[in-house]
Amino acid sequence: MGKTSAADLEIISGLFLSAAEQMRRTLVRTAFNAVIYEVLDFGISIAGL
């Protein structure tokens, strides 16, 4: 494997942040649990993995 450039790392970072934001929006929109959609505590979503 070659070296990873700063630009590559920035692109990958942006992709991960975008994916996390999309997951957050979906979780809030579809949540049945008040802890998720009112308190915005997403720790429970990690346990669901």
Q: How confident is the model at residue 7 (pLDDT cuts 50, 70, 90)?
A: very high
Ordered alpha helix ranges (H), 1-49: 6-30, 34-37, 43-47
Residues 25-44, mean pLDDT to the nearest whole number: 79
In sequence order, the 6+-apart residues with CB closer than 8 A to the CB of 35 are 41, 44
Residue of 37 and 31 predicted with greater confidence = 31
